Amino acid sequence: MKKFFALLLVLTLTFSICACSGSTTPTADKPLAGTTLKVFNWGEYIDEDVISMFEEETGITVVYDTFETNEDMYTKIKASGDNSYDVCFPSDYMIKRMIDEDMLAEIDFSNVPNYKYIDQKYLKQVFDPEDKFSVPYMWGTVGLVVNTDLVAEKIDSWQVLWDPKYEKQILGLDSERDAVGLTLKALGYSLNSRDEAELEEAKQALIKQKPNILAYVGDQVKDKMINEEAAIAMLWSGDGIALKMEDPKFEYVIPKEGSNFWIDSVVILKNTQNKAGAEAFINFLCRPDIALKNVEYICYATPNTAAYEQLPDEIKNDKTAYPGEDVLSKCEIFENLADSDILQTYSKIWTEVLSQ
């Protein structure tokens, strides 16, 4: 047994020596060469070739880490002080919170010429009304994916989630903000509601929905749907589009009552030690060919007009991937609720629903 561990140790050490990177010094065309840029992103939320290309072009070494939720990322950055990241990718409501808590640096847009490719539609949002701190990276919606082999009727409303026909046929989203928020939407309220009566109504509706729910799941949705474990699932647009591309029997629907419209943006953290590098990185991400590479890899929707133009027609004209103003006008962005006690109410509602 001892020998076994000795062998294991030797293997590990050899392996760890093999995996390291060299450094370079600045040159005229690569003024930032030799510096380091620490990037914090969602897992699987970039085409990794993009990072290598950026390193090659600029000589900057990228330290790339991933997180699971906005809140994890926030807690981590808040606690780690100066030794933190330079660039990260929060969602809308979290950007607002980080701005409010003075965690973000203003971006110098003269260093980000490719910013011009970002569609005006996605700017001037509630979370960053003057567009000082964030550059949209990806956006999407929440909707229903329907297996048309199993569901004959045309689905266009959240009401289907309460249809007794689909007992144990529906996969819910394992996220209290989405579950409660979209139920509010189905009932005709705002998904940012802070009204106790409306929230209570949403809770009752969710409880009533439970016989139809097979499970509340996260990322296994795609596997489950392909495997025909369920007929209908609530999910994010990127997953919906990916399913459609996998098999045309799947349809992604944004219900007519409206839904959640979200944006994930790139931001620079206040105590960055490489602001120039961070801006170069954001500029790189906005470059049409790079944005295209990323959107093709991730499957969500790009806010980059030039990248959008280069997409294949069937995606470009897909009203579910890139819904028109008529649909988006009915959708809402999640507001930051962390400044109030309402999140606790959400949490309690969700626990009660799950425990029924």
The stretch near other proteins (CB under 8 A) out of 60-68, 125-133, 251-259, 284-292 is 60-68
Largest interatomic CA distance in the chain: 68
Binding mask 70-109 for other proteins (x = CB under 8 A): -xx--xx--xxx-xxx------------------------
Q: How far is the CB of 141 from other proteins (least distance, A)?
A: 15
Q: Is 19 in the site for other proteins (CB under 8 A)?
A: yes
304: helix, strand or coil: strand
Binding mask 331-350 for other proteins (x = CB under 8 A): -------x----xx-xxx-x
Q: Is 245 in the site for other proteins (CB under 8 A)?
A: no
- Rounded distance, CA 260 to CA 182, Å? 7
Among 23, 69, 317, 329, which residue sits at the site for other proteins (rule: CB under 8 A)? 69
Q: Please give the C-alpha separations between residue 252 and each of 142, 150, 206, 235, 262, in angstroms, as whole numbers.
A: 10, 14, 22, 9, 17
Q: Is 22 in the site for other proteins (CB under 8 A)?
A: no
Cβ proximity of 158 and 255 under 8 Å: yes
Binding mask 155-194 for other proteins (x = CB under 8 A): -----------------x-xxxx-----------------
Q: How far is the CB of 196 from other proteins (least distance, A)?
A: 16
Closest CA to 78 of 42, 104, 106: 104
* Closest to other proteins by CB, 114 or 143: 143
Alpha carbon 49 to its chain's center: 20
Closest CA to 62 of 90, 42, 33: 33
Cβ proximity of 114 and 283 under 8 Å: yes
* Closest to other proteins by CB, 67 or 308: 67
Q: How far is the CB of 159 from other proteins (least distance, A)?
A: 22
Number of residues that bind other proteins (CB under 8 A): 73
* Closest to other proteins by CB, 328 or 354: 354
Cβ count near 63 (within 10 Å) = 12
139: helix, strand or coil: strand
Cβ proximity of 181 and 191 under 8 Å: yes
Give φ, ψ of 217 to 5 degrees. -125, 165
35: helix, strand or coil: coil
Site for other proteins in 273-312 (CB under 8 A): 298-299
In DSSP terms, which residues pair with 135 in a beta bridge? 266
* Closest to other proteins by CB, 67 or 117: 67
- Rounded distance, CA 229 to CA 222, Å? 10
Q: How far is the CB of 153 from other proteins (least distance, A)?
A: 22
Q: How far is the CB of 38 from other proteins (least distance, A)?
A: 4
DSSP per-residue string spanning 264-285:
EEEEEBTT-S-HHHHHHHHHHH
Half-sphere exposure of 294 (CA within 13 A, CB side): 24
Q: Is 200 in the site for other proteins (CB under 8 A)?
A: no
Site for other proteins in 39-58 (CB under 8 A): 40, 42-45, 48, 52
Q: How far is the CB of 118 from other proteins (least distance, A)?
A: 21
Q: How far is the CB of 51 from other proteins (least distance, A)?
A: 8
Site for other proteins in 212-241 (CB under 8 A): 213-220, 222-224, 226-229, 238-239
* Closest to other proteins by CB, 4 or 28: 4
